[in-house]
Structure formats: C-alpha cells, structure tokens
Structure 1
Amino acid sequence: MTAPRTVLVTGASSGFGAAVVRRFAQDGARVVAAARRADRLAGLAAELGAGVLPVVLDVTDPEAVTRILGDLPEQFAAIDVLVNNAGLALGLEPAQRADLADWDRMIDTNCRGLVHVTRAVVPGMVERGGGQVINLGSVAGSYPYPGGNVYGATKAFVHQFSLNLRSDLHGTGVRVTCVEPGMAATEFSAVRFAGDQEKAEAVYDGMLPLTADDVADTIHWVATRPAHVNVNTIELMPTAQSFAAFQVARG
C-alpha cells in the first residue's frame, strides 16, 4: 500500500478537505488543493510545503473548472486520485418555507460542480489505465430527516452517480468510491446556519461527533487499498448517532 502520486482535493480550504490534504501530504503525495478561499489555501500550502499546490477554483463555474484543471503544472497534471469534497448544506427549513436560492446553490455545488470536476479529470485516468474517484456523499442521502430536503437529495445523487460512474468505468482500471459520513464537527453547521455559531454548536451538544481527521483517515484508507480492490461505498457515523425513528403525527 503506497500513497498515490498525485491527489486533487476540492473544497480543500477547511473541514474534510483540509484534513484530506494534510493526510496525503504526510505520505509525500503531491496534492492539488482546490477551493474558493485563496487565503486559506495559501496557509495550507505554507504549512505543508512545495508538495501542495494551492488552486483557487469555484467548482460551480464550469468554464473555470475546464480551464484551470486543464492547465495544471506538469508535475501535478496527472491526477491519480480525485477527492470530490466540495459541497455544503444551507438552511434547515421545511420545503414549503425553504429559500429557493439555497436549494439552487446546493444543487450547483453538490451535483453540478462534482460532475464537472469529474468529467475534467476522468478521461486522463482512463487514458493512463488507472486512478480513483472518491466522492463525498452523506448519510443524509440514505436517511431522511426534517429539513434535509434538497441537501439529502443532492447526496442521494452523489451516491447514485458514483455507482453509475463505476459501471461506466468498468474495465478501465479506474476505481470509484462514495464515502458517506454522518455527524462531524467541521464548519458544516456554521455554513448551514449562515454563521450562527450558537445554532451550529447546539447540533453537537452532549455528543461526540466525527472529526475531519476521522473522515480523512477513511478516505486515505480507501485510496490505499491494492489496485484490485474497489470499495464501492463506505458509511460511517459517530457511535452516538444512529438511524432516525419514524415520524408519527398524532392527534
């Protein structure tokens, strides 16, 4: 089991993405760290050294995805592992009160952004006869909860897209995995609640959630299996979290 040579991580400026960059960089891999926040990326590159290439990229801009990923420096251009991590949840209102702009942004980032990045990278993997796509799904794609509406639907899309991508890539040597975490203490809830830190912290009150490092370790494990092993889907939750009970309206 050796570290992949070159790894591209989207949403790399914080949370799971930053932890994944650090985990692969520890093994000496070259890592393309892509995200919107240039200052965060610069800090990550300064911390980890020349093996990390910071790339300012908004995955919701298809022209930028094609241009920037098609013009990477030669030593970073042949991507062995793509970690499609960029994504977000916005709001927790029921569908009848939800903000359509929030819905559109989740679809643009979690679905359209993911597929555009994948389409930009996968042909090179096929040409080279190997590689791996690791998509960040969520338990929200399998288990509904009040207010999860479009966020959960986007992650169900990621799950099914991963399975179909694996079918399309059959025989090419390119592997595909969907990693589906449960509750994790990152900036996720702060983003969902528009920066309301009190609401964000209340999500994890009295329980021990997953950490970004837990998820990064899982992704690293998936990526370092022998070439003949494909982990199709892996789901992880904190021990304190389980499956939701059925909702029952009474009276």
Structure 2
Amino acid sequence: MRGAGAEATKRRARPFRADITERLARGEHLVLYGPLGSGKSTFLCTLHARLRREGRPCAIADATIRLGDMTQAFARAYPEVDIAGLTQRRTRARLAAAAELRAGVLLFDHVHRLNTAMTGFLHGLRGGLAGIILAVDVDGPRAREALRACYPALSLVAMPRSSARQLRTYLHAAGPTVASDLTPAQERQILRAARGRPGWVRLCALLLQEDRYWHGKMLYVAVLCTDTEIALRLGRPPFLSSATQNLQSNSPPDR
C-alpha cells in the first residue's frame, strides 16, 4: 500500500505542472492558493525560468500590492515594446496589444488583495492571450471561502501538499549535519508540524542548526516548530529578547 501511494503521488505531481502550463498557454487566469511555505513562490520561480528558456514572454512580480507592480511585470515580459514617455494606462494598452500578437505569461506572487484598478486590469486582459497566475496565501477552510468570494470570476487552483518523503528529503538536504542527529520521533514531530509545506521544512532545517534549540542530544522540538511558524509569518527569524536568551541558558528542568 505504501508503494502504491507513492506511485499515486508521482502521478498526481506530474499532471499538476502540465495542467498549469497548458491552461496558461490558453490564456487562462488562475489563482494559486495555499498556506505560507507551501511552495507557491518556488513553483512560480521554477515556472518562470522554464518559460523563459522556451522563449515565451514571461515575467514575475515578487510582491503584488498595487497596479504599478502588475504594470512593471507586464513591461518586463515584453522588453521590446517601446513604452518611453507613456502613461501607465497607455503602457498597459500597448503591452496588451503585444500580448495578443505573442502569447505571454504573467506571474504575480504574494498578492494581498486586488483593488478596483487591479481587477480592471485583469478583466481587460481576459480577451487577450496573456496567461496569469495570482499566488495568494490561504490557510484554513474559512479563508478558502473568503478567497472564492474575492475572486469569483477566476479559476482557483490549490497548491498540492508535499509528501512526507519529499519533506524528509528537504529536511536532510537543508541541514545534513544536524538532521542526522534527529531521532525518528523528533523527525516525525517536525514533519507533522510542517503539514506538507516544503518552505516551512527548509526554514525549520536552518533554525535546527542553531545551538539554542539543543541541550546535548536533547532537542526542544516544540520550541523549534513554534519559532519556525513565527519566522515564516514574519519573513525572518524571530527576535530573541535578553530574557529569552537568559532562559535558554538555564538547565532543561528550569526551562
């Protein structure tokens, strides 16, 4: 059964990438959603590199907060279009005409919320040949329902969860010297806390190498997982106050 499950995972993983590529080639607009650290940014970067190698117009916006971020990414996808001296509105119109002649793909990462101008930009491209992906952080069923209400006209695509085998590979690849010291129980606890998120595991592996989580061979797994979640949401390792540092210098029972 374990072998059959692994084969099924492989069969699901291949069609996901192929299906996304085919839908973008048809000019579809997709919303790729999943929790923080689920691999959306990594997937977009990989897709961007692949499309560029194939010679297809493509650009990625690392952060999509306002319409100007979308316009700049659109211009990077078609650098041959002369937009010098044009207003943003005329710039987008000229780029849209180029997209109808030569199909391209626009990837917008870390989309917080679309305002009216951004929605109008996307609506104007729906008749063209520019495929679009909006990557949105969503965690939990309530957030998914809110997402459907925010993007009723776009197709929603869930980022697939990574298998335990894949997560274990990420864990040992990111911290090979320290991960080898993990007991099977500690490793299982970390993988359960990851909830199928490869980005979470990579960040956890980096924090795992810091001495403050270790006392000899004892690992404070709960503290490590909590700090990883905080660091993922902050975009950086959590700040340690002097009180916390003093606490870490105490003996394990005191802690």
**TM-score under structure 1 length normalisation:** 0.33
**TM-score under structure 2 length normalisation:** 0.32
More helix by share: 2
Query: Which gives a bigger RCO, structure 1 or 2 (Cα 8 Å, sep 6+)?
Result: 2
Structure with greater Cα Rg? 2
